[in-house]
Amino acid sequence: MKVITLIIFGYLYSLSPLPAQVKPLPQIKVDGNTLVDSNGKPIVFRGLNTSDPYKLKNDNQWNKRYFQEIKNWGSNIVRFPVHPDNWRTLGQDAYLKLLDDGIEWATELQLYVIIDWHSIGNLKTEKFFRPSYVTTKKETQEFWQIMAKHYGKNTTVAFFELFNEPVNNGEFGSCTWAEWKAILEEIIAIIRSEEATNIPLVGGFNWGYDLIEAGKNPITTEGIAYTSHPYPMKHEKPWEEKWTQDWGFMARKYPVMLTEIGFCGEDEKGAHIPVISDESYGDAITTYCKKNGISYVAWCFDPDWSPMLISDWDFNVTRQGKYFKNALSEK
- Whether residue 231 is predicted with pLDDT greater than 90 in this model: the reply is yes
- Is residue 40 assigned to a domain? yes
Cβ atoms 112, 77 nearer than 8 A: yes
**Average pLDDT over every residue of 73-96:** 98
* 43-46: long-range pairs with CB below 8 Å, 24+: 43/76, 44/289, 44/293, 44/294, 44/295, 45/76, 45/77, 45/112, 45/257, 45/295, 45/296, 45/297, 46/74, 46/75, 46/76, 46/77, 46/295, 46/296, 46/297, 46/327, 46/328, 46/331
Residue 241: inside a domain, yes or no?
yes
The pLDDT, as a whole number, for residue 170 is 87
In a domain, 110, yes or no: yes
Residue 131 counted as domain residue: yes
Q: For 307-325, what is each residue's pLDDT tens digit?
A: 999 999 999 999 999 999 9
Query: Quick check: is 266 in a domain?
Result: yes
Tell me what pLDDT residue 13 has: 36
Closest by Cα among 293, 224, 218, 307 to 252: 293
| Pairing assessment for the beta strands 295-298 and 256-261 based on DSSP bridges | parallel
pLDDT band at 16 (very low <50, low <70, confident <90, very high): very low
Q: What is the mean pLDDT of residues 267-296?
A: 97
Q: What is the pLDDT of residues 159-189, one digit of tens each?
A: 999 999 999 988 999 999 999 999 999 999 9
Question: 3-class DSSP state for residue 172?
Answer: helix
Q: pLDDT category, 226, cuts 50, 70, 90?
A: very high
CB 173 within 8 A of CB 205: no
**8 Å CB contact between 256 and 226:** yes
What is the reported pLDDT for 23?
A: 87
Task: Say if 68 falls within a structural domain.
Answer: yes
CATH number at residue 225: 3.20.20.80
Q: Calculate Rg over the CA atoms of the chain.
A: 20
Q: Mean of the pLDDT values across residues 250-273? A: 97
Expressed in percent and rounded to 5, the helix, strand and coil fractions of the chain are 40, 20, 40
**Which of residues 5 and 80 earns the better pLDDT score?**
80
What is the rounded average pLDDT for all residues in the chain? 94
**Average pLDDT score over residue span 63-71:** 98
pLDDT value of residue 22: 81
Residue 153 lies in a domain: yes
> What pLDDT is recorded for position 20?
52
Model confidence at 18, pLDDT cuts 50, 70, 90, reads very low
Query: Domain range holding 239?
Result: 21-329
Query: Structurally, how many domains does the chain consist of?
Result: 1
Rounded to the nearest 10 degrees, the angle between the axes of helix 92-108 and helix 137-151 is: 50
Q: Does residue 77 carry a pLDDT above 60?
A: yes
Query: Does residue 1 fall inside a structural domain?
Result: no
Q: What is the pLDDT of residues 22-56, one digit of tens each?
A: 889 999 999 999 999 999 999 999 999 999 999 99
